Amino acid sequence: MAARLGGGFLGEMPTDIWSRLYTSWLRMAGASIGRGSVVHRRVKVWRPENIEIGMGVSVPASTDMAGMGKIIIGDYTLIGANVRFVTNHHPIEDSSIEWERVLEGTQQSVRIGKYCWIMNDVRIIAGAYGVGMGDYAMLAAGATAVSDVPESELWGGTPARYIRRVTTNRPG
C-alpha cells in the first residue's frame, strides 16, 4: 500500500518520483550515482561532488552523508535507517595546530565495498586516516565504525569490534 502512495517502506525508502528527481539533481550537482540507485529526497547530503554510489543502492530518508571528504559506496550495498557517514576529523590532540584549524577540521574518506550490509543506527566515522569496509562486510545495528571492517566480517558495538566471519552466496 505504501508503494502505491509513493512512499516505500513506511515512507522512508526512495521509491517515489521526488526521490528520483532528487537523485537526478545530485547527479547534476556532481555526485556519481550508479544505475538503479536512488537517494531519498530527505537524505542530508553535504558536498555532492564527493559522493560516489555504485549500482543498485537505495539510500533511505534518515541517512546523513557529510561528504566533506569522499564517501564511496559499492554496488548493491544495503543501507539501513539512521545511518551517518562522517568524514570530518577534528585533531584536538595536536597542540601545534591553531584552535580555529582544529574546529575547521580535516576531511578523510569513507569507503564501503560491494554487497555490504550497514544495519540501522550505524555511525561510520572516518577519523584521522579514513575508514572502510571490505566487500560483503556487515555492521550490526547501533555500531560505530572507527576502523576498517575487513571483507566478509560482521562487526558490532561502539566502537565496532569483530564478531564473526560471515559466509555468503556470492553472485557470479
Q: How far apart are CA 133 and CA 2, in angstroms?
A: 32
- Beta strands 161-165 and 153-156 are antiparallel
Residue 43 sits in which domain range?
9-162
pLDDT at site 29: 94
Residues in the chain: 172
Position 145 in a domain: yes
Position 52 in a domain: yes
Position 75 in a domain: yes
pLDDT at site 101: 67
What is the Cα 70 distance to its own chain's centre?
10
Task: Say which CATH number the domain at 50 has.
Answer: 2.160.10.10
Position 4 in a domain: no
Rg, Å, the chain Cα set? 16
110 with 126: CB under 8 angstroms? Answer: yes
Collapsed DSSP state (helix, strand, coil) of residue 160: coil
pLDDT at site 26: 95
Position 167 in a domain: no
Position 2 in a domain: no
pTM of structure: 0.84
Beta partners for residue 106, in sequence order = 89
What is the Cα 103 distance to its own chain's centre?
23
pLDDT at site 111: 97
User: C-alpha grid cell for residue 5?
Assistant: 502512495
42 with 36: CB under 8 angstroms? Answer: no
Collapsed DSSP state (helix, strand, coil) of residue 90: coil
pLDDT tens for the chain, 172 residues long, are 334 434 444 445 666 888 899 999 999 999 999 999 999 988 999 899 999 999 999 999 889 997 688 999 999 999 999 999 998 776 667 677 676 766 666 788 999 999 999 999 999 999 878 899 999 999 999 999 999 999 999 999 999 999 999 987 776 5
In the chain, how many domains are there?
Answer: 1
Strand order in the sheet with 123-125: 44-46, 64-66, 84-86, 123-125, 144-145
